[in-house]
Amino acid sequence: AQAIPSYCMSSFLIPTTLGEEIERMMNSFYWNTKKNGGRGINWLRWDKMTVSKDNGGLNFRDLEGFNLAMLGKQGWKLITNSSSLLTRVLKAKYFPRSGFLDANIGHNPSYTWRSIQSTIPLLTLGYRWKIGDGSNINVWTDPWIRSRTNMRPSTAPNGNYVDLRVSHLFDSALNTWNYTLLNTVFNTQDVADICKIPLHARAPQDSVVWKASP
């Protein structure tokens, strides 16, 4: 019951009612121990059963969460693999002038696109930028300060630096941060946290990474 819908859930967002019905079937099968098929006793709540065994649960899948995780992997491919056929087709149709994380649902979307696009809030919680040349990272709106919970500066944007990119904060001659500019734009805590971030001697392109785990 958990394995059969896996392939479908990797491409489509199943209706909530269908997920709940499958979960009820699994719950009923697990607890229904009466020979005559009568209703058994649910000794443990479903939300407890979906907890991992290491944490005291029974490791049943929360199908809604599993569905979003499977679709999120498709969304992650759209972010990190720009050369794939799937990315090129969906980008041309739905987000030609932006990245996937900024994409709207669009006009008359397919169910596949609607399903993958629904994972943007989930992916937004788990990604951050890995600094390379800094040209693609907006200082104020993108998550890039590793030691912060929200990974963004606490300083309010200054009118003269609204479109500031991380690359503007580099001293390219010394391959260090531009400390004079940092102290001009940011508060003391922001400056300290930014200066902890190492810079590459040969800066590659900026890349998006998953911050929760390797």
Q: HEC string of 41-104?
A: CCCCCHHHHCCCHHHCCCCCCCHHHHHHHHHHHHHHHHHHCCCCHHHHHHHHHHCCCCCHHHCC
Write out the two tokens for 126.
Answer: 């788990």
Write out the two tokens for 163.
Answer: 């479109």
Q: What is the Cα–Cα distance from 35 to 79, expressed in whole angstroms?
A: 52
Q: What is the Cα–Cα distance from 107 to 113, expressed in whole angstroms?
A: 11
Residue 170 has a pLDDT of 93
Q: How many CB atoms lie within 10 A of CB 68?
A: 19
Q: In 3-state terms, what secondary structure has residue 198? A: coil
Residue 3 has a pLDDT of 84
State the 10-residue block means of pLDDT for the chain, 214 residues long. 87 91 84 65 78 86 91 94 94 93 91 95 93 92 91 88 92 89 94 92 85 76
Burial of 118 per CB tally in 10 Å (0-12, 13-18, 19+): middle
Q: In 3-state terms, what secondary structure has residue 6? A: helix
Instruction: Give 12-34 pLDDT, tens digit per residue.
Output: 999 999 988 988 888 887 777 66
Closest among 140, 146, 113, 112 to 127, alpha carbons compared: 146
pTM: 0.80
Length of the chain, in residues: 214
Q: Give the end-to-end CA distance of the chain in Å, rounded to a whole number.
A: 29
- Any idea which residue has 């979307």 for tokens? 109
Residue 143 has a pLDDT of 95
